[in-house]
Chain A
């Protein structure tokens, strides 16, 4: 009696029930994967295809092979943008030590420190559009605080955003403001978890200030530094809003970066050259690919270590 019930029970178990643990994750993944494929992964590869076309976005696309890349090769505006991208990458990383510096400054327990921390973090919450607008005024040659400060020490006035030599640095400085705030909050969280016993032990060994920071604290902050590095690199390569708001790429295209130049080529009055824009996208993607590979490699090692 008992035997028969059990056997009918198993045969009645549906295919799904028998494979539940293998099938369920895919049921949960399908909607997310579809969305992500359609809007992110496939478009990345489509960019490669589009970059071989001559297309205004409306008419018939024409396949022109590598002609877009050949044109890029001789395009001064492209090199300016590329070079500016490297400046962005290099200088944006200053947000990491700057963020650590402010975090160390604020890692105290005096009354009201929490409010200070929030207010120092504040710039990160604001849209880059507003940050760009505000810094545009900050640099204004007639009334900007920057030039008032320069005037006070007998210099200036400098029209930062109107001068090809300074404009990119001026915009990066504006970008560093929220980015430093982000790195600061990462380090504040990291500092919270630094092992007090190691600090005490190092203190007994006579380690002080910078030595302590470099040999005892910074190694323990490694996870925070990794995230700060990732978000800063991504932030640097995504820079668009500030450039668009503060200078619109000018003067004479000297503050463009690849992402902005691509937008200009493909979607602005400079003409609807989708193929050429896509070719710039491919170059930007290849730059990012170096970093993505490194990020994923680090994460993969981390996963294996668990």
Chain B
């Protein structure tokens, strides 16, 4: 193990390490703690310049109540309506592409794979003008399906990379044995490979949820207004409405950030397994 386990060092070093950790963590998360503190302060604290002191009164309920009384719940709902179908679409498309590229050996395999990978690496802003135009032409501008379709398509690049590498690592003998038994390729996909893909699909779904929930760029490019915009775009109009109302902006930010955070803590194992796939040989 590297570095040397702390248990093997002197007691002094051990104590220093155990004191240093929480301090380092506090510094690391200071910006977030600040927001959490702001979100329970009364308005008056900001006008009197009491930014960092204790709240003069606890206004958490009032502040969060105001957030839930605004357009925020609608934005949250939009985010869910965008994120969940995208997750489903990506899981379906990429379990198929991943299966095809992971199991079959054919000439174009590597080139199809590289097409997905290269597309996924592109700074997606360069797609802005054509994709916006395409969405307008389909009559889907400023609609949730317009945003979902793009997200599914773009994330398919990453998801294909992910699923294909995962399937490559499965024992190929399973497929060979099934073929010897005369099982059709579709049944191999559904009954042999699919059950083994479950952990990968879970990991992927959590990642997609986070990526799409946190997307801001496409929300601004393809939608406008409360009827279709997700919460990342919503928070900016919320902030414009409550400019300099730091307590409300903080509470709003926390509400907007909460679902992916909850997802992360609930599905931590899958989340990290997904993010670090390929980090180890």
Contact = CB atoms under 8 A, between A and B. Distances in A.
Most buried by A among B93, B109, B129: B129
Nearest to B124: A238
Given A129-B232, A134-B32, A295 B129 contact: no
Interface in B8-26: 17-18, 21, 24-25
Interface in B84-117: 93-94, 96-97, 99-101, 103-104, 106, 109-110, 112, 114-117
Nearest to A196: B1
Contact of B261 (A126, A137, A148, A282): A126
Contacts, number: 283
**Which of under 10, 10 to 19, 20 to 34, or 35 or more describes the interface residues of B?**
35 or more
B232 A41 contact: no
A108 interface: yes
Contacts of A129: 214, 216, 232, 235-236, 256
Main secondary structure of the interface of A (DSSP, over half): helix
B168 to A, nearest CB: 8
B279 A224 contact: yes
A38 B260 CA distance: 29
Interface stretch (B57-65, B66-74, B131-139, B197-205): B131-139
Nearest to A203: B4
B278 A223 contact: yes
Interface string B134-177: 10000000000000011011101100100000000000000000
B45 to A, nearest CB: 11
A71 B220 CA distance: 27
Nearest to A262: B125
A227 interface: yes
A35 to B, nearest CB: 4
A169 interface: no
Contacts of A44: 119, 122, 126-127
A25 B5 contact: no
B241 interface: no
A39 interface: yes
A271 interface: no
Interface string B185-214: 110010000000000000000000010011
Interface string A17-31: 000111011101101
A138 interface: yes
Given A38-B153, A118-B268, A129-B236, A28 B97 contact: yes
B279 A223 contact: yes
Contacts of B32: 122-123, 126, 134
Interface in A136-184: 137-138, 143, 145, 148, 177, 182
Nearest to B186: A24
Nearest to B184: A20
Nearest to B276: A189
A78 interface: no
Contacts of B152: 35
B281 A234 contact: no
A40 B154 contact: yes
Given A47-B129, A240-B217, A137 B123 contact: no
Interface in A248-295: 259, 262-263, 266-267, 274, 277-278, 281-282, 284-285, 288, 291-292, 295
Top 10 closest A-B pairs, CB basis?
Answer: A39-B153, A43-B130, A259-B125, A281-B126, A127-B214, A32-B97, A25-B100, A28-B100, A189-B276, A25-B104
17 contacts: A21-B104, A25-B109, A33-B97, A42-B130, A44-B122, A104-B3, A122-B261, A129-B256, A131-B31, A135-B31, A137-B38, A186-B275, A196-B1, A238-B125, A240-B217, A241-B217, A281-B127
Interface of A: 20-22, 24-26, 28-29, 31-33, 35-36, 38-44, 46-47, 50, 57, 104-105, 107-110, 116, 118-123, 125-131, 133-135, 137-138, 143, 145, 148, 177, 182, 185-187, 189-194, 196, 199, 209, 212-213, 216-217, 223-224, 227, 230, 234, 237-238, 240-241, 244-245, 259, 262-263, 266-267, 274, 277-278, 281-282, 284-285, 288, 291-292, 295-296, 299-300, 303
